[in-house]
Amino acid sequence: MKKFIAIAAIILTPLAFNASAAMSPQIEKTLIQVCKAGASNSLFKFNDTMKGYRINKQRVFPRLVCNGQSYHQFALSHGADRTASKIAPYMKGQVTIKDLAMTYSSDELLAVNY
């Protein structure tokens, strides 16, 4: 009996994960509208969409991908500069740490004449 339950669990496990990975149609429709608002250069349309769907900008913008691009890059590629500048503060940044004491080369030396 235990062997039968174990086999049934192994067979049904992939089906359970595939069912939970699907996006609901309402969320998909909402995100499509957000992508369309990002592609337009109209801040009125953008703000109206954000308020209408109650979008949490901090949670959605870093994770949203429209047509294979990040939301910010998607807006820039469609010429929506005003929309892109509005969402730029919510995008993840890139931090670079450079050890100044160990990386001096001849062109990076700070020379002082006195």
**DSSP secondary structure of 49-66:** HHHHHT--HHHHTTT-EE
Instruction: Identify whether the C-beta of residue 35 lies closer than 8 Å to the C-beta of residue 72.
Output: no
Q: Beta partners for 69?
A: 66
Highest mean pLDDT (candidates 12-21, 47-56, 86-95, 103-112): 47-56
Q: What's residue 46's pLDDT?
A: 92
| pLDDT, tens digit (0-9, with 9 covering 90-100), for 43-90 | 999 999 999 999 888 888 888 888 888 888 889 999 999 998 998 888
Determine the Cα angle at 65 with ends 59 and 67, to 5°. 160
Pick from 71, 75, 73: which is nearest to 55 by CA? Answer: 71
For residue 32, report the phi and psi dihedrals to the nearest 5 degrees: -65, -40
pTM: 0.61
Mean pLDDT over the full length of the chain: 76
b/e map of 72-84 (b: 16 or more CB within 10 Å)? Answer: bebbbebebeebb
